Structure 1
Amino acid sequence: MAQRLRVALAGYGMAGRGIHRPQLVAAGFEIAAISTSSPARVEQARSDEPAAQIVPDLDALLEVPDLDLVVLATPSGSHANHLTAAVAAGVPTVVDKPITVDAPSACKAVDAAAQAATPLTVFQNRRWDSPHLAARKLLDEGRLGDLVRYEFRWERWRPEPKQRWREQATAAEGGGLLLDLGTHLVDSAVDLFGPVRSVFATVEAHTTVAEDAAVLICRHAGGAVSELSTTSLAGAPGPRLRVTGTRGTFLVTEFESEPNGFPGFSAEPGCVGWLVRGDDRTPVPTVRAERTFYEQVAIALRSNDIQAALPVDPWDAVHTAEVIDAARASARSWQAVDISVCG
């Protein structure tokens, strides 16, 4: 059996403890070290991972010997500085989405990693969700016909904002739904249809410091149009995913713990959604990823070319940042904005 890969986890909040740690453990990684400055989280880390070294900050984390990987699950506003430190240390790095808070800093970070030959990838794990994989399969098989429109939503009902940095920080500091959930929406659309060439958007803040509602209409290089929506103020959320073609529509109404506004279209057991043609509906079987994000990272770390084998090209995350920057500019001008390409 291959020796377990040693990972250092920077940040032990909702993302670090609740998302990254379980997926890393499931993929066979050894949690060798954790950084957190919170006394309560130090106790959680000691309880969860008694063999791990607990340190107060990223600088101390990067001094832990024999690391195979560092995961940056820190607040988004700190990603640029933390990436600089991780790249300088030469440790292969996973950074949670968004890569940074804007395209210029994202471009600078990825370029620095390339210059230093430090492998870097971005945690865009939603590419391997079943609805996304099923949509790709239906499109590839031609069962939807020619694409008319792709709609992807991450809408929830949370009228009372949580008291945490995501809701209380400015966009420049990493707050708001565009950077939190919008990055997943953009990345999924780009993964299916290629780069975005222009975007029209509305971006609003009703209950939070940064935006709590955003809609992006993107035109991709190949001509496809994607409509992406995220809000915390949807008492009746729209369909999670609706991919409309000339021969039918792929419809998904359920997603994890989010409310389902269309219970009549709840998926059947073993299925992810429906292929709908008017009154006719056919259940669409669940499509499973062959490997999870972190299983792919583990394979890459044992390969001869780590960067090439990593699951997400960091330049994809730069493009996502470019689209989000353009969406903010569009919302200010009330006009479609062409995407400015880094470099």
Structure 2
Amino acid sequence: MTSTPRRDLRVGLIGYGLAGSVFHAPLIAATEGLALDTVVTSDEERRAQARAEFPDVRLAAGPDDLFARAGELDLIVVASPNKTHVPLATRALESGLPVVVDKPVAATAAEARALAALAEERGLLLSVFQNRRWDNDFLTLRDLVERGGLGDVWRFESRFERWRPQPKGGWRESGDPAEIGGLLYDLGSHVVDQALVLFGPVTQVYAESVVRRAGAEADDDTFLALTHTGGVRSHLHVSSTAAQLGPRFRVLGSRAGYVKYGLDPQEAALRAGARPGTGTGTGQGQGSGSGPESWGVEEESLWGRLGAGESPLTGGGSPVPTRPGDYPAYYAAVAAALREGAPNPVTAHEAAAALDVLEAARRSARDGVAVRL
């Protein structure tokens, strides 16, 4: 007796800007068991882009058109501007549909927890796209920490820095609080989430947040100092104004330190048109490769170094092979959660804990004081 193949879960994607076109659409399409059914965008150029890459995709001009067909879909992905995340996720859940929301899921932890409560009440999946948990450097560091390779970790330094001296404009750099723009909520959502995953809850937050570029409205150079309940101190930097980029990670422990430069290659590969599982990998960080096995792999010269007593730039320490980055693992986990009841890869409660820290950081920077949680 032969079994009937399960049909793919049909996904409606709201938004086809950077998040939708570079991250969500390609990753959804590459995930076994998921099918990109509909893309929502009113922008004609983006509609043409979506149709060119996914010829069978249906297009909708707005969320109303999508939700009118809610019964034909199995998952909604919200990749639209930050201020729309809560209302669109709420609407999806009230329509009886599981939902993935890009980070930050909300402006406040209270809003995130209210969304989580609604999802739990309806018995629906609500997951937050914290893709940087699957960066190559973070996967490598997490493994080092869990294996005790550093001893007791004392300080975690994390930098997500760029050199963009001219503002690009748009909602991400808007000074209107309703837009939830600025680096604190953009890149800060990543570095705070990583710190919490590695070292657990936070008891105190201190932050400095500055608008440095002429014509900029939202914070473009921000520093956070976190005190974790276990004693680890996290120093987190996010900046668009770093003329010299520091190490992505510098982690100091009682036995050794780990220093890693360079960003995970997956975003650059996706922007360049490479796709996981299609024979085009990240090609050792250069945007093209010889097969699916090369996805997320970086060249050996970028491996971090583990050691004590000397700078890695002068030969100190030993190279640590960087684990391949694995953004596809996020949507594979979402599919497993929907199909099999597997764990949610990133819960709204976890996102709310990060928002507690971001809200405290905003208060700290405004008032010039450390904020206890």
Fold in common (TM above 0.5) = yes
Matched, 1:31 2:67: no
Tell me if 1:49 matches 2:54. yes
Which residue is equivalent to 1:99?
105
Counterpart-to-counterpart distance in 1, 2:147 and 2:109: 35
1:256 CA displacement: 4.3
The yes-or-no answer on 1:233 pairing with 2:241 is yes
Secondary structure at the aligned position of 1:309 is classed as coil
Please report how far the alpha carbon of residue 49 of structure 1 lies from its aligned counterpart in structure 2 after TM superposition. Answer: 2.0
Q: Normalising by structure 2, report the TM-score.
A: 0.83
Q: CA deviation at 1:46?
A: 2.0
Aligned counterparts, 1:136-147, within 5 A = 136-147=142-153
Distance in 1 (CA, whole Å) between partners of 2:146 and 2:343 is 24
Q: Conserved in 2, the CA contact under 8 Å of 1:122 and 1:313?
A: yes
Partner of 1:302: 339
Is this contact kept in 2: 1:215–1:227, CA < 8 A? yes
Deviation track 1:204-229 (CA, whole Å, cap 9, x = no partner) reads 12232111111111111222111111
| 2:282 aligned with 1:282 | no
Q: CA deviation at 1:302?
A: 0.6
Q: Residue type of the partner of 1:318?
A: A
Task: Output the CA distance in 1 between the equivalents of 2:22 and 2:153.
Answer: 36
CA distance in 1, matches of 2:43, 2:325: 35
Question: Residues 249-264 of structure 1: matches in 2 within 5 Å?
Answer: 249-256=257-264
Query: Equivalent residue for 1:163?
Result: 169
CA distance in 1 between partners of 2:134 and 2:148 (Å): 20
Local SS of the residue matching 1:329: helix
5+ long unaligned stretches in structure 2: 268-297, 311-315
1:6 aligns with 2:7: no
Match of 1:324 in 2: 358
Equivalence for 2:222: 214
Q: Secondary structure at the match of 1:302?
A: helix
Distance in 2 of aligned mates of 1:271 and 1:159:
26
Greater Cα offset, 107-116 or 121-130: 107-116
User: Residues 144 and 247 of structure 1 are in contact (CA less than 8 Å); yes or no, is this contact kept in structure 2?
Assistant: yes
CA contact (8 A) 2:221 2:240 kept: yes
TM-score by length of 1: 0.90
8 Å CA contact 1:195–1:220 kept in 2: the answer is yes
Kindly report structure 1 stretches of 4+ aligned residues shifted beyond 6 Å.
Answer: none
CA contact (8 A) 1:270 1:286 kept: no
User: Cα distance, 1:136 vs. partner?
Assistant: 1.6
Match in the other structure for 1:263: none
Q: Which residue of 2 aligns with 1:204?
A: 210
| Cα distance in 2, alignment partners of residues 52 and 169 from structure 1 | 35
Residues in 2 aligned to 1:123 and 1:270: alpha-carbon distance in whole angstroms: 30
Q: Residue deviations 1:167-219, cap 9 Å, x none?
A: 13534312101111100000000001111121000111223211111111111
Structure 1 stretch displaced more, 248-257 or 77-86: 248-257
Q: State the partner residue of 1:173.
A: 179
C-alpha contact (below 8 Å) 2:260/2:302 kept by paired residues: no
The Cα shift of 1:41 comes to 1.3
Give the CA deviation at 1:70: 0.8
RMSD of aligned Cα (Å): 2.0
1:331 is displaced (CA, Å) by 0.9
Asked whether 1:60 is paired with 2:60, we answer: no
In the alignment of these two chains, the number of paired residues is 329
Letter in 1 for 2:192: V
Equivalent in the alignment of 2:294 = none
SS state at 1:157 partner: coil
Q: How far apart, in 2, do the equivalents of 1:240 and 1:277 lie? A: 18
Report how far residue 299 of structure 1 moved: 1.1
- Gapped runs of 5+ residues in structure 1? 259-266
Three-state SS of the structure 1 residue aligned to 2:186 is: helix
Q: 1:32, CA displacement in angstroms?
A: 0.4
Conservation of the 8 A alpha-carbon contact between 2:201 and 2:229: yes
Cα offset, 1:62, TM superposition: 2.2
Give the secondary-structure state (helix, strand or coil) at the position aligned to 1:292.
Answer: helix
| Amino acid paired to 2:202 | V
Aligned residue identity for 1:168: S
